[in-house]
Structures are given as C-alpha cells and as structure tokens.
Structure 1
Amino acid sequence: MKIKLALFLSLLFFASCNSLRTRNIVYLSDLEQQALITEPVEMKRLSIKPGDLLTIEVLTPNRETNMMFSRGLIDDEGVGGGGNQMRQGGRGSEYLVDTKGTIDFPVLGNLKVQGLTTEQIRDSVLLQVQEYVQDPIVKVRLQNFRFTMLGEGGNRIIEVPGDNEDVNLLEGFAMAGGISVYGKMEKVLIIREENGVRTMARVNLNKKETLYSPYFYLQQNDIVYVEPTNAKVSGTSFIRRNWGFAAGLISSAFVLYRLL
C-alpha cells in the first residue's frame, strides 16, 4: 500500500513538471550541428548620452601640462541645470554629460560628446591636445554602464566595469546568474531609451538570428525582462488560492502514509 501511495505522489510530481520537459531551454538551439561555424561580427559600440559619466585622462611627458588638462572645480548645477560636473579621480577627471550632450573640458572648452563613442571622443581630444603638447596619450572611459535584469533572468542591476563596453545578452545573463527553467527564452523583452525615444523589442534566445539583432549588444540603462512560463504563473496562482487545502492534503497524505 505504501508503494502505491508513493507511486501516486510521484505521478503527481512528474505531471506538474511535464511542461518543463517539453520546452526548449537551449540557447541558440537552431544552430547547425557543425564542429566550426564562422561568421562576421558587427558590434554596436556604446554612444554617449546626456547623464553619462566619463573619465578622461590626458598624459604627457610634462607634469604641469598634465595638471593643465585635468584641473577643475565641481559645478553644483549638474545635469538638471544644464551645467557640468567634474572631479579629480585616480584615473583621470570625471565629467557628467549635461542635457545638451556636452562637457566643459579644461583648456579645450565646451566639447560636444553626445552620440559619439569613447573612441571617437578620445580621437577628438587627442587631436586638439596635440596643438598644445607633443606625444600626448588620451584615455576615455564610460563609468556608468549598467543594465537591469528582471523576471526569470534575475532581479538585479548589473554595474559594468569602465573598461568593458561590449556586453551582449548572453554575457548579461551570465552576469545575472542565467535564466531559470521557468523563463520564456523565446520572448525576452528589452526596453531601451535613445534620443528621447523608448523602444521595446522582443528577441528569441532559441534562434541564432538574435546574434544579428540591434538588441543583442546591451546599451546603457537597458532593461531586460524574462517572462515566466504559464506553468509557473498557474502553479503560483493555484498555490496562493489553495494554500490551506494543499497544506491539509499534504498533511493527510503524510499521516496516511505513516498509518499504512
């Protein structure tokens, strides 16, 4: 009798897990089964937006010249007042991009950086600094690259180090701990704001076409949401509605098992 009861409970368990076994939870599962696949890669580099925080470091053979391109005062107006913030850091000076997409750089004055990549900003600053000093070195880093994972992809904000500007969706999920077995990999929602426009797009992580999506590489402040499966939603709703009944049923089954 105990064997029959145990078998009955096991059947209930496997029936509840049936939907998970039939779902495709493999990344890029439609890739051809070949030992080697080679394709060109086209990265979308991050472009600077108002509110971004940049670190710009100018290095020259002369210490006084270095200070000339790095000294500055904090402007209390900040982004909200259309001003520029700057503070001295260990790896250069930090500049908060104002609402007009500009920063106020020592000696060079007002620089338009909105829409540019850090490489383009570096080249522009380098070209202008060369008018004052020979053989300068310019380093530009984005300090506020972060994105948010929600739902079955984790619930956390990921801060990306300033030296890493190429983070794709797969790397993002790895940083967040991966997608749970209850996540809809075929319906991953990405919310992005660019140039005052909010866009919402869905990508299918089961399909290799995601690799070519403009949303494959993450941008500043992207929000990535992985929906739960219907099985999890239904199961959670059932437990909430019938928690007392389920607890009583489990207790009764346990007592019956002990008596038999």
Structure 2
Amino acid sequence: MKNIKSNNLDFRKLSLRHIVGFLCVVLFASCGNMKKSTYFYEAPDSIYNSSQFENLEDTLNENDLLSISVSSVNKEAADMFNTSNQVGASTATVSGVLGQASGYLVDKTGNIRFPILGEIKVEGKTKQEVRDHITTMLTEQKLLLNPVVDVRLLNFRVSVLGEVLRPNVFTVPSEKISVLEALGLAGDITIYGNKERVSLIREVDGNKILHHLDLTSSEILSSQYFYLKSNDVIYVEPRPSKVAEASVLRPWIPVALSIVSLGIITIVNFR
C-alpha cells in the first residue's frame, strides 16, 4: 500500500514537471508568434521621417487617365476646354465598387487630344509639367486670360493580394496612400499572413521591381516604399504553418494521432 502511494506521489511530481515544462514551451512559442503577428513589434517611440519620399511626383505613362480642368476670368471662353473628358474607363473605388471614370486617356504614342490645342505629349512628364505646358500654350496663343489649369490622375490604383481579408484593386482619388492604408482597405492581414515578408511589385522604366517589406520592423516607416505609387501590387505571403496545413500530409495527422492513442490505451490495459 505504501509503495502504491509512493508511486502515485512520484507520478504526480512527474506530471507536474511535464505540465510546467509544457507551459514554458507554450509561453516561449507565444512570444515568438507575437513578434511575427504584430506590426512594429518592440519599436521605440520615435520620429520616423518618410517625408522625403511623400511628395515625389511620378511621371505619366501610357493608359493613364487624366482629368484636366481649365478656368479663367472669362468662364464662357474656358468652358470650351472642359468639354472633352469623354473617354470612359472602369475603375474600382476604395470600397471595391466598380465605377465609370472619364477623362483624357494617354494613348500608345504618349499623347492626349486636347480641345483647340490638339495632340499634347504627356508621357514621361509629371502632372505639374503638363499643367505648366498647357498653361503656357493657352497664354502664348492668347486663347485665355490668366488661365488656371488643374491636372489629376483618375486611375491611381493599387492591388492588394494574398493573405488579406478582402483582396482587391483599389482606386485612390487622393493619389496618395501608404502600404498600411492599402492593407487597411483590404481588411488587414489575416492571422495566416506573414507580416515579415510582404512583397511589393512596382514598375519602373518598363521594368518590374520586387521588394520585400518587413512590417514588424519600424524601418518601413522611413522607407521609400512606405508610400505606394500608381499600379503598385502588394502581396502578403502565407506563413509556413499555413502552407503546411494545405499539404497532402495534413489530412493524415488525425488518423496517426488516433492510432497512437489507441496503442497507448491497449498497452496500459493489458499490462
């Protein structure tokens, strides 16, 4: 009887050690997972400067859709330059709803067709340069007195794909959006998404550039990739655990566990 009690006591001590050990493993695993699941994990309070990249204006490209409005002291004379925003294109708004936008489409030769002024080369120029060019033409040809020209990009869009809640292509009316705002529009990264490896695909001078972002690091806040450009693609990679779940071995794990459990029960009962 004494031996039985002693064995039970030893068993309880052994079980207690196993439980404590198991809890320690879970605790350390949770700390590791917390770092991978949290934006800017352990980033100190500081000032992160990305303003040097915020206002860099991109040049216009083929298939860009422009809105160009002209105003002047003579409203009736200016109206003739505001009647040809007729080219339509389907766009997805930030809410994901398809809409119809109209404006001046940059053709394959890099030109737009503007009322009275005819074809204007805009490819490779910034919006400011196009604005100044049209203003100069209107003034030099004495078509308007003190013209005011405004140029906007109607199809500024970014794509967010991968492990996010709502993958989509988003058109951004403000023409300014950060990588975090884009992920917010897509419903944020899911629990299966890898915040340490978010891919950014960007086209520069006809070449596709692939850059990997680590959103658990505060370095992204001062990166040139913090603010997105038109036609950027964000892809959130799945965690390795998500890939493992989708493997062919995954369905057999419950079967294997059941066999092991049955074997243990059989050994214990027939001892």
- Give the alignment's TM-score, normalised by structure 1: 0.70
Of residues 42, 60, 66, the one that matches 1:54 is 66
Q: Which residue of 1 aligns with 2:95?
A: none
Between the aligned partners of 1:64 and 1:203, the Cα distance in structure 2 is 51
- Counterparts in 2 of 1:170 and 1:73: CA distance versus 1, 3 Å: closer
Aligned residue for 1:57, secondary structure, equals strand
What is the aligned partner in structure 2 of residue 105 from structure 1?
Answer: 114
- Matches of residues 3-18 of structure 1 in structure 2 within 5 Å? 18=29
Instruction: State the alpha-carbon separation in 1 of the partners of residues 125 and 178 from structure 2.
Output: 20
Once residues 40 and 184 of structure 1 are traced to their aligned partners in structure 2, the CA distance between those partners, rounded to angstroms, is 24
Question: Which residue does 1:149 correspond to in 2?
Answer: 160
Q: In the aligned structure 2, how far is the partner of 1:125 from the partner of 1:239? A: 64
The amino acid across from 2:103 in the alignment is: E
State how far apart, in whole Å, the 2-side matches of 1:73 and 1:137 are.
17
Cα distance, 1:53 vs structure 2: 0.5
Superposition deviation, residue 189 in structure 1: 0.6
Structure 1 stretches of 5 or more lacking a match? Answer: 1-7, 79-90, 250-260
Mapped partners of 1:98, 1:110: distance in 2: 10
Distance 2:207 2:196 in 1: 25
Match of 1:121, SS state, is: helix
How far apart are residue 135 of structure 1 and its match? 2.7
Contact (CA 8 Å) 2:196, 2:216: kept in 1 or not?
yes
Matches within 5 A, 1:1-260: 18=29, 21-29=33-41, 31-34=43-46, 37=47, 39=49, 41-42=51-52, 43=54, 44-72=56-84, 94-130=103-139, 131-162=142-173, 164-237=174-247, 241-242=251-252, 245=255
Alpha-carbon spacing, 1:33–1:173, altered in 2? closer, same or farther (3 Å): same
CA contact (8 A) 1:147 1:221 kept: yes
How far has the Cα of 1:18 moved from its partner? 4.5
Deviation track 1:125-151 (CA, whole Å, cap 9, x = no partner) reads 223223421232222111111111111
Distance 1:150 1:40 in 2: 24
Cα distance, 1:62–1:71 mapped onto 2, change above 3 Å: same
Asked which structure has the greater CA Rg, the reply is: 2
- Relative distance call for 1:114 and 1:151 in structure 2 (3 A) is same
Compared CA separation, residues 18 and 237, structure 1 to 2 (3 A)? farther
* Separation (CA, whole Å) in 2 of partners of 1:49 and 1:224: 20
| CA distance 1:183–1:39, shift in 2 (3 Å) | same
Aligned residues of 2:70 and 2:78 also touching (Cα < 8 A): yes
Distance 1:193 1:68, change over 3 A: same
Query: Hey, which bits of structure 1, 4+ residues long, moved more than 6 A?
Result: none
Q: Matches of 1:26 and 1:204 in 2, distance apart?
A: 11
Question: Quick one: distance in 1 between partners of 2:63 and 2:121?
Answer: 13
Q: CA deviation at 1:59?
A: 1.6
Does the 8 Å contact 1:158/1:176 carry over to 2?
no
Post-superposition offset of 1:230: 1.0
Percent identity of equivalent pairs: 33
**C-alpha deviation, 1:55, in angstroms:** 0.8
RMSD of Structure 2 on Structure 1 (CA): 3.7
Counterparts of 1:156 and 1:241 in 2: how far apart (Å)? Answer: 27
* Cα shift readout 1:11-59 (whole Å, capped 9, x = no counterpart): 9xx96x946735432323353235xx26361223333110111111112
Query: Residue 76 of structure 2 aligns to which amino acid in structure 1?
Result: E
Aligned length: 224
For the 8 Å contact 1:47–1:114, the answer to whether it is kept is yes
Counterpart CA distance in 1 for 2:200 and 2:189 is 15
The structure-2 alpha-carbon separation of the partners of 1:138 and 1:194, relative to structure 1 and needing over 3 Å to count, comes to same
**Shift in Å at residue 72 of structure 1?**
4.2
